[in-house]
A = this chain, B = another copy of it.
């Protein structure tokens, strides 16, 4: 079936591109002598996970315990849950471990560490301590006393083992250019390696030294002292990554196929059936490229950009594309199709329960996703 025969809106994944993206990242990590633990919060799909772990240990990263359960059921057992755990989620984590998951949990909290240490869930938790290397989200600063305190709490209990340290240089998404990303990659590395060394100097174990975001994995110049990187969006890339020079345009694997549902000539716009739900309200690329709005409009078969057409406004099921001349209406009659490149693949994909996978313009497969919590 040709993709233009699909009901719209629908999420299109280009198999050749996602395959190339995953192979290139694997090769880059291999060349740098560092393990790849892809973050599957972007794809949430076993088929993409197979591509992203091809030739590797099969180790993965997830952002929810629902993902952990799904991937465990799909045969992936070495799983890092890279969002700080809370005591109320320990039973669910333990249940996954009882079913065979080699699950690593994360914390930056003394209170959570005490709960992990004191509660017997019938398993030995593997605990990572989160380090804030500049992203300013969760995590302890590399020189924080709490790192050692948490390390001692975890090392001192039969209920858990200290696996190491983890950081996410997510502020690389805010970098303006490649030099900025390189600097953040180095900050990310130095912070988490410092934390690891502090644990070791305190006589505590620290096997894993985990870092990574897609921009820092793509542009980092050295990974010395790290044991693994955890990029995520590299499997698909998106306009936001492109705007920050983390990829090239031909690396964009994900798009939304939409239909033109109306011409509003008295205002000068074409309206498509992909709006706030089908594209998401993420406009992260706009900080560098305000002209892309909610997404760039492309030819559905060649993926060539259609002039500078973009989705400027969205409501729930409508996307509004401003047009400045009559030729756009001729080129895109009501019922015709376009493909829209999203700002942020992770957020856009979350509205769909599957990918329609294409080889060129031929729909060759459907790959499921795990959504929700």
Contact = CB atoms under 8 A, between A and B. Distances in A.
Interface of A: 7-10, 41, 63-64, 83-89, 92, 108-109, 111-112, 115, 130, 132, 136-141, 144, 170, 259-264, 266-267, 269, 271, 273, 276-278, 280-283, 313, 315-318, 320, 333-335, 346-347, 350-353, 371-373
Given A89-B7, A316-B347, A139 B282 contact: no
A346 B64 CA distance: 23
A96 to B, nearest CB: 14
Given A112-B334, A262-B109, A333-B111, A267 B83 contact: no
16 contacts: A10-B373, A64-B317, A83-B261, A83-B318, A108-B262, A108-B264, A109-B263, A111-B335, A112-B334, A115-B335, A132-B264, A132-B266, A138-B262, A276-B282, A276-B347, A353-B371
B373 A7 contact: yes
Contacts of A86: 259-261, 273, 334-335
A347 B136 contact: no
A373 B83 contact: no
Given A86-B261, A271-B138, A277 B334 contact: no
How many protomers of this protein does the assembly include?
A: 2
What 10 A-B pairs come out closest when comparing CB atoms? A138-B262, A84-B261, A281-B281, A86-B335, A109-B334, A63-B317, A84-B262, A281-B282, A111-B334, A138-B271
Contacts of A318: 83, 137-138
Chain A: interface secondary structure?
Answer: loop
Contacts of A85: 261
Contacts of A282: 276, 281
* Interface core residue of A64, A92, A115, A269 (most chain B CB under 10 Å): A64
B281 A316 contact: no
Contacts of A346: 316
Contacts of A273: 83, 86
Contacts of A313: 137
Contacts of A141: 266
B109 A9 contact: no
| Chain B CB within 10 A, most for which of A112, A283, A316, A353 | A316
Contacts of A269: 136
A103 to B, nearest CB: 16
Contacts of A88: 7-8, 259, 335
